Amino acid sequence: MCDCAEETKGGKGLLMVFTGNGKGKTTAAIGLAMRAVGHGFRVCFIQFIKGSWRSGEQETMGRFRGRIDFHVMGRGFTWKSDDLEKDRRAARAAWDKAREAIFSGKYQMVILDEFTYLLSYKMVDRDEALGVFSKKPQGLHVVITGRDALPELVDMADLVTEMREVRHPYKNGIRAQKGIEY
């Protein structure tokens, strides 16, 4: 097990939230993962909603085995769901994996991609999640992405960035593109 406080050079592990309707929340988290790995940190990256297709981030993260543990645990976007109960079970299993990673002592950064949706859709208990984040190890960085971050999560975070959409190609009929959206 690593001493997370030592690995972060005695720094405080931060709770960071990337939220808002604009594009770039997952991309920002991936950038932090790359920066952390560049400093020799171990990263656990868990995707909660995405899961029905192979993405560029899966391909990239797979090249950092041993430094990044990358887990796609969702069943795809919930608004396209064929079985919301299966989605809830997958979300719960992913949350169990996240809690384990947070308290394992194995990582210096844990990224919970699209986690805000689990709180908004009440797939994970809000009070339980906030309790876990408030008790995370001192030297561990936790990154949470997704739209509509709960005000309580925003209040407890050390860093919050809200991505604001100014223009998006979807509005001009341009579909999702490999290397840009996935």
* Annotation says 126 is catalytic: no
* Annotation says 145 is catalytic: no
* Annotation says 79 is catalytic: yes
For residues 140 and 137, what is the distance between their CA atoms, to the nearest angstrom?
5
- % helix / strand / coil in the chain, to the nearest 5? 40, 15, 45
Q: Which of 9, 63, 79, 85 is catalytic?
A: 79
Q: Which of 23, 92, 106, 126 is catalytic?
A: 23
For residues 31 and 163, what is the distance between their CA atoms, to the nearest angstrom?
15
Q: Which of 12, 21, 89, 165 is catalytic?
A: 21
Q: Which of 48, 114, 136, 145 is catalytic?
A: 114
* Annotation says 35 is catalytic: yes
* Annotation says 172 is catalytic: no
Q: Which of 60, 64, 67, 77 is catalytic?
A: 77
For residues 36 and 68, what is the distance between their CA atoms, to the nearest angstrom?
10
* Annotation says 77 is catalytic: yes
Q: Which of 8, 19, 26, 145 is catalytic?
A: 26
For residues 3 and 139, what is the distance between their CA atoms, to the nearest angstrom?
8
* Annotation says 27 is catalytic: yes
Which are the catalytic amino acids? 21, 23, 25-27, 35, 77, 79, 114
